[in-house]
Amino acid sequence: MDTQNKAYKDILAHRRSCDKWGKGFCLACFGGGLTRFTEKYEEEERKEFKKECNIKLQIESATSQFIGFFHGKKGFDLLELISSMGLEETEWKIIMKKEVNMFSTNEIEEIEEYFKQKIKEKKP
């Protein structure tokens, strides 16, 4: 059990001040019951997990941006970047739904043509 969890710390704090702890029955001394304690404990764990995932995602995003920056700095073009990252057409369509304003009309056409060529190359 994670003793740093807020739900667990709250129970310990209550027990220290409760007159019934060790002498009688107090539901709060047991976290409001096993179900309530478990729910609070798990919620705290989920919050911490989300926080850790968010930090990892931000680092991955920054790393990706640096890779793109250095890729462009070395003179590679858009299609070389797409090819090197292994971007799939389904991923491209998702990006287009979310980030359509990021690309110029010419860039969109160039990328669409890239995927059309890729499909032609796969056909026997």
Distances (CA, A) of 99 to 43, 66, 68: 33, 19, 16
Q: What is the pLDDT of residue 106?
A: 93
Contact 37, 9 (CB under 8 A): no
Q: What is the pLDDT of residue 110?
A: 93
Q: How much of the chain, in percent, has pLDDT values that exceed 70?
A: 88
| Residue boundaries of the structural domains of the chain | 1-76, 77-124
33-78: pLDDT as tens digits: 567 777 877 888 888 888 888 888 899 888 888 888 888 888 888 8
